[in-house]
Amino acid sequence: MIGELTNDRVLVDEKGIDELYKSGYFGRPKGNKLELSLVEAAYLLYRNKIKAQENEKGLDFTDFFKKASLRQQYFELKYIVYKDIRERGLYIQPGVTDFRVYPRGGHPGKSQPRSYIHVHSERIPLSLKDLQKLLETADNVHKQLILAIVDEESDITFYEAKKVNIKGDMKKLYPDLTTSASLMEDRVLIWDGESSNTIHENGFYGKLLDPEHLQLSLVESGYLLENNIIQVNDRKNGNHLNFSEFSKRASFIESEFPRKCRVYSDLRNRGLVPKTGFKFGTHFRVYKQVESSNNIPHSEYLVHALPNDYEFILPVMSRAIRLANSVKKRMLFAVEKEKGFEYIDIGRVKM
């Protein structure tokens, strides 16, 4: 069977409809011809199912591959992913996000595709905006969004990205009291022993420096200050700091403070318990519920707050997700919306 290369398509005559489409779901019938994309044609060429020519001149695999790679951006990456999925026994067709993939046992004409696949090189940053667009495209037609990231040695890692609505089980967000605290160099200390313990035990705020003194992180302090649980003074002159003064000081210590503080509040207000995620390299590790500091459960999520103009550096994303999954947590990226935050869960999947 001859495939004629024309621009960025390959056309096969009527026989192709029976032998390639009906028996293998390659290409799409167009009138009495079968139209193949460049990756489909390259794959069929490699499998010796078709021969390729252009203007009546024969093209071997090498010729075709070089030509195709000049006509379609990221052709090699797309070919690598197409071949991989096809050889897993799944039917795959070109689609709006690069490919659509049918569920195992399904095929065009019989069932709906299950996943939209977006192919991306590990070297090229993926902007949050582009990811959000991809998510919207897939969500609108109720498809799973899969990111197929191809590394420099052509290994593929598949990630599923989805929006999740998270909720915790904390009934009371903070205790009923007001106590005074001092802003030290980059953390806050509560001096009163009873208040220290009550705040620590009711919501798992801070860490006890010793049995009488509670240390709070800046975001914990911001949240408790905004809700009037603590009054914060300056260690030098004892002057009270209101939320906006505190926030200014905290932002000087930690430039990401305002966004981190807003995510912290959002998580707390969802009934969750956020604590620092330093050991995991993220902003927060998040518990669904902590009833007592003597009995800390497993934390469910790692949460990292992203600015709206964020660009995912894929090796960094890969590391974050791999680490989260290795400790049985979900990696969530928090994105600020007009009201509150949206959480995007990205995790590795097997195809």
List residues near a copy of itself by CB under 8 A: 46, 62, 65-66, 69-70, 73-77, 80, 83, 121-123, 151-155, 157, 182, 184-187, 189, 191, 206-207, 209-210, 215, 217-220, 235-236, 253-254, 275-282, 314-316, 318-320, 322-323, 326-327
Q: Report, in Å, the least distance between residue 286 CB and a copy of itself.
A: 14
For residue 14, give the amino acid letter: E
Nearer to a copy of itself, 91 or 312 (CB): 312
Q: Report, in Å, the least distance between residue 12 CB and a copy of itself.
A: 21
Q: Report, in Å, the least distance between residue 32 CB and a copy of itself.
A: 32
Written as six digits, the tokens of 149 are 């990231």
Q: For the CA atoms of 146, 147, 151, 154, what is the dihedral angle to 10 degrees?
A: 40
Q: Report, in Å, the least distance between residue 141 CB and a copy of itself.
A: 30
Q: Report, in Å, the least distance between residue 198 CB and a copy of itself.
A: 18
Nearer to a copy of itself, 137 or 276 (CB): 276
Residues involved in catalysis: 287, 298, 329
**How many whole angstroms separate alpha carbon 41 and alpha carbon 21?**
12
Q: Strands of 242-312 (E only): list them.
A: 273-277, 282-287, 301-306, 311-312
Alpha-carbon Rg for the chain, nearest whole angstrom, is: 27
Of 138, 277, 278, 279, which Cα lies nearest the Cα of 287? 277
Give 20's DSSP letter.
I
Nearer to a copy of itself, 75 or 246 (CB): 75
**How many whole angstroms separate alpha carbon 183 and alpha carbon 133?**
42
Written as six digits, the tokens of 235 are 């260690």
What's the length of the chain? 351
Q: Report, in Å, the least distance between residue 312 CB and a copy of itself.
A: 12
Q: Is the dihedral of CA 243, 244, 250, 251 positive or negative?
A: positive
Q: Report, in Å, the least distance between residue 277 CB and a copy of itself.
A: 8
Nearer to a copy of itself, 124 or 173 (CB): 124
For residue 351, give the amino acid letter: M
Of 95, 94, 44, which Cα lies nearest the Cα of 65? 44
Nearer to a copy of itself, 64 or 102 (CB): 64
For 46, other C-beta atoms within 10 Å of its C-beta total 13
Check if the beta carbon of residue 53 is closer than 8 Å to that of residue 5: yes
Of 174, 170, 258, 254, which Cα lies nearest the Cα of 222? 258
**How many whole angstroms separate alpha carbon 248 and alpha carbon 161?**
35
Nearer to a copy of itself, 75 or 343 (CB): 75
Residue bearing tokens 């009923």: 176
Check if the beta carbon of residue 123 is closer than 8 Å to that of residue 310: no
Of 294, 303, 234, which Cα lies nearest the Cα of 275? 303
Nearer to a copy of itself, 15 or 252 (CB): 252
Phi, psi angles (nearest 5°) of residue 92? -140, 135
